[in-house]
A and B are shown apart, each in its own frame.
Chain A
C-alpha cells in the first residue's frame, strides 16, 4: 500500500538560530495512526503544523518535502502556493487543537463555524451544509444536534466543544486528521470519551490520524506507530508496541519511567490509618454556595462545596482529587481563609503541636498574621505566579520584608538557604524568572513558599503545567521537603497517579461533595464509588495491554443522577458519607 503522507528530512528554524526541527522524516499509511510524542520544546507541534504550513510568520521551512498522496493524487504540500494550500486545509487534511475553549470564535454560532468548511470546500448551500453538519453532530455524540447547531461556544462544556471541533474536522471527510494535544485541556474522564470517539470515527471512515501528545498513556491507547521527538530530532520511531514495551533509546526509557502510574493492585491486607491525634488543619462541615447572576435578572445558586469535613494530620499529605468544577479549589481557598464558608462551617488551624488553635474565619489581627506566615500556597502555573519584573532575590525576600523579619543580609542568607533547599544555587539570585525553565520556576515558587518557615503548604495542582520528567522531579522534591522540614500538605489535583504517589489520604470530590475518602492503597485496590472507578479507569496507561475501559468510565463519569441506586445523587437525596472499613468512607446508602 502506498503511503498517504510522507515527510522527508524536514527542518524548520527561526531567524538565524539553529533549526528547532531537524531532519525529521516519517510516513503514514492510509487509515494509520501515528503519534508524535515529546515534551514541550521538542518540536512536535511545529512539525505537525508544518504539514499544513500553519506556522508562525517568522518560521522558515529550511529543508524537506511533505507529500500527500491521497484521493486527489500526489501533491507536494511543501511547495504548493498559499492559495493551493487553502484547498487542502480543512478538506483532505484537517486539524484539531489543544484548547477547545479558545479554538472556536465566541461570537459565532457553532453551526455557522462548522458549516463554513462545506461552504469553502464544497460550495454547499446553507441548507445542504446544515444537513450534513447535523448528521456529523449526531455522529460525534451531540444529544440534540439542532440545538448545538444554534448554540454559541460558551454555552457548551469543554468536552462538548472538543466534540464540536472534531465535528468541524470530520465534516469534510478528510483523509488525514492532525490532532494537536486534543485532550490535554480536558478532564481525565472526558479525555477518555473523546479519545474513544476519535477511534470510532477512524474505524468508520478509514481516515489516518496524526496525534501529537506528551502523554504516553494516550499513545498506548491510540497509536499504531510512534515517533519520539526531543529537541527537534527524532529519537526513536517504530510500531507502538516495541517502542513502548521495550524502548531502545535512553530518552524514551526515561520518558516512560517518568510517566506517573497508579500502583498495581497488590491484594492482601490494607494498612489501617492510625487515629489522628494532632491535626494541623480541620475543615468541619464546610459548605460554600455561590449566587451567580446570569444574564439580566436570572440568578443561579451554585453549591460549590457541600458539607466537606476533612482532617489533615501533622506531617502528612491529604489530597483532594476531582475534575474541574468539583469544588476542590473552593475547599482549598476556604481552608486558607481566602473565602468564608457558609454559615455553620468551621476551619481550625493549629500551626504548632500543642500550640494555639486558630479558627480561620474568626481571627484577630495577630492570629491572621500567624496564619499568613505559617500557611503558604504553591500555585499551578509557575509561569504566571512569579512577577517577571522582580529578580529572584526580591521575590524570595519579599515575604520576609512584609513580615519585618531579619536584616537585609539575614534575608539574603535565608534566600540562599531556601534556594539550596529546592536544589538551586545561590548564583541564581540576581536573575529574572524568564531565565528559568518551568521546573526551575516551580522550584522557585516552592522556595518562596518556604521562606516564612510554614507548617502547612497548600499545593494547587503544582505539577499539572509541567512535563512528565519534570513533574517527577518536583514530586520528589515536595516529598523530600515534607519529610525534612516536617511540613503538612493539602494537595489539590485532578491526577490520581500523582496523588497516589504523594498522599497519605485521598478525598475524591464530585459536584462539591466528597464521594469517597480513603488511603491511596484502599482507594486503588478497592475503589467502591462508581466515580472513583471511572477516574481510575479513565487514566490512560502507557501500557498497550491495558486500554481504557470506556464502559466503566462513562458509567461513573456520567451525571450523578445516573449512578446506581446505591450511590445516586439527586437535588433532594444525598446519601451520607458512610464508613465501610476503618479509614474508608464512601457516599452511599447502606
Chain B
C-alpha cells in the first residue's frame, strides 16, 4: 500500500466532499425568501426610483438570478455557461458583491491570506503552548505544576475572547508598546510587500494570535494531559523502565508518541473552529480577516460573497482534515500496515 495512493484517494474524496458542500452552501444561502437584488428592487419601488430599478433588473439578468435555482448553481460553480459563457468558481471567477458593488475577488483579496496567516499562527501557538504544558502536567500529575496549569487553562477557556482582546490591547499597548487594532499600520494598506510592512504585520499579530489561540491551547493541553496519563499506565511504559531507561527519555519516546495521535487528528477540527470562532474577535479587534466580511455578507444576503467565503472556510477545513489524516498514516504503523502479510 502506497502512501501516495492513499494521499491521492484522500484528495479525491476531498474534492467530492467539496462538491457536496457547495450544493449545501448554495441551497442554504437561498433558503431565506428573496435575494439581495429583489430586496433592493422592492425598496426602490417603495421609494419610487425607476432608474435604480432598471439597473437592478439588469444585474438580475447579468448574474442569471432570474433562472431556476439549479441553473444558478451550475453557473455559479462554472459547470454551465451563464450570460457570459463559462465563468464560475472553477474558472476562477468568484462573482460580484452587490453590497459593495465590487467583484468578490477584490473585496476578499487581501483578507484571504491574512485569514490564513492569523489562523495558522494561532494553530501554531496552540501547539507550541499546549505540547510542553500538557507533557509537564501529565509527568507531574497531581502536583502543584499540574494544578496551576489546569487553573490557568480553565481561566483561558472561561474568559470571553473579546474581553481578553480588550485587556491585552490595553496592557500590551501600555507596557509593551504593542499596536492596537488592525493587522498592519494603516499606511501600509494596499501597498506592495516591503520589509516594513512585514514588521508591521508581525507586530500587529501578537495580540490576535494570543487571543484566538488561548482557549484552543487550554483545551488541547487538557486533552494531551489526559491522553498521556492514560498512556503512562500502560504496560509498555513499565517495560521501558525495566529496560533501564530514564523517565524523561522513556516519556518522550513511548507515551508521547502514542498520545500524539489525537493531537494530530485535531488539526482538522482546529482550523474551522478558529475561523468561525474568531469572527467576533476580528470585529472587536478590527482585523482585516474574512470574518467581518462574512458577517456583513450574511446580514445583507449578499449571495456570491457569502457563498465564496463559506466555500473558502470549507476548503480550509477539508485541507486541515486531509493533512491530519495523511500525518496519522505517517505516524501510526498500525494504520499504515494493517493487513500486511508477515
Q: Which of B244, B332, B333, B342 contacts A120 (CB 8 A)?
A: B244
**CB distance A106 to B334 under 8 Å?**
yes
Q: Which of A147-155, A436-444, A554-562 contacts B (4 or more CB under 8 A)?
A: A147-155
With a cutoff of 8 Å between Cβ atoms, the chain A residues found around residue B239 in the complex are: 97, 103-105, 165, 168
Residues of chain B with a CB closer than 8 A to A296's CB: 1, 5-6, 9
B244 contacts A152, C-beta separation under 8 Å: no
Stretch binding the partner chain, chosen from B73-81, B86-94, B230-238: B230-238
Contact B236 A120 (CB under 8 A): no
Q: Given A99-B235, A103-B235, are A86 and B337 neighbors across the interface (CB < 8 Å)?
A: no
> What separation, in Å, do the CA atoms of A444 and B337 have in the docked complex?
43
Contact of B338 among A83, A117, A295 (CB under 8 A): A295
**Residue interface bits A102-122, CB-to-B below 8 A is 1, else 0:** 111111110000001100110
A86 to B241, CA, bound (A): 8
A199 interface contact, C-beta 8 A? no
Give CA–CA (A105, B340) in the complex, Å: 19
Number of A-B contacts (CB under 8 A): 99
- A405 in contact (CB, < 8 A): no
Known: A102-B234, A107-B258. A120 touches B243 (CB 8 A): yes
Interface size on B, residues (CB 8 A): 30
Is the CB–CB distance between A90 and B1 below 8 Å? no
CB contact list, A93-149 vs B, under 8 A: 94-95, 97-99, 102-109, 116-117, 120-121, 147
Do A300 and B258 contact each other (CB < 8 Å), given the known contacts A105-B236, A107-B333, A117-B243? no
Contact A117–B244 (Cβ < 8 Å): yes
Structural contact, B5 and A54, CB atoms closer than 8 A:
no
The number of chain A residues with a CB under 8 A from chain B is 42
A7 to B238, CA, bound (A): 22
Known: A103-B236, A105-B257, A296-B9. A86 touches B246 (CB 8 A): yes
**9 extra interface residue pairs, beta carbon distance < 8 Å, beyond A89-B242, A106-B236:** A54-B238, A89-B244, A94-B242, A98-B235, A99-B235, A103-B235, A109-B333, A154-B333, A295-B339
1/0 contact trace for A251-276 toward B, CB 8 Å?
00000000000000000000000000
Across the interface, do A89 and B241 meet the contact criterion of CB distance under 8 Å? Answer: yes
Q: A87-B244, A91-B244 are in contact. Are A107 and B332 (CB under 8 A)?
A: yes
Q: Please tell me which one of the listed residues B234, B243, B332 contacts residue A89 in the complex, with CB atoms under 8 A apart.
A: B243
> Is the CB of A17 closer than 8 A to any CB of chain B?
no
Cα–Cα, bound, A52→B239 (Å): 12
The reply on A298 being an interface residue by CB < 8 A is yes
Cross-interface CB contact of B244 among A90, A99, A107, A151, cutoff 8 Å: A90
State whether B241 touches A152 (Cβ < 8 A).
no
Measured CA separation A13–B332 after assembly (Å): 39
Determine whether the beta carbon of B6 is less than 8 Å from that of A90: no
Quote the shortest CB–CB distance from B14 to chain A (angstroms): 16
Within 8 Å of chain B (Cβ to Cβ): is A156?
yes
From A86, A116, A168, A295, contact of B340 by CB (8 A):
A295
B128 at the interface (CB under 8 A from A): no
Contact of B257 among A87, A107, A120, A155 (CB under 8 A): A107
Q: How far is the CA of A104 from the CA of B342 in the complex (A)?
A: 18
Chain B: minimal CB distance from A40 (Å): 17
Which residue of the partner chain B has the closest CB to A150? B342
User: Is A88 among interface residues, defined by CB-CB distance under 8 A?
Assistant: yes
CB closest chain-A residue, reference B255:
A105
Q: Is the CB of A155 within 8 A of B340?
A: yes
B155 within 8 A of A: no
Question: What CA separation (Å) do A108 and B257 show in the bound complex?
Answer: 9
**Partner pick for A116 among B1, B243, B336, CB 8 A cutoff:** B243
Write the nearest CB–CB distance from B99 to chain A, whole angstroms. 46
Given known pairs A102-B235, A105-B258, A296-B5, the reply for A86 and B245 (CB within 8 Å) is: yes
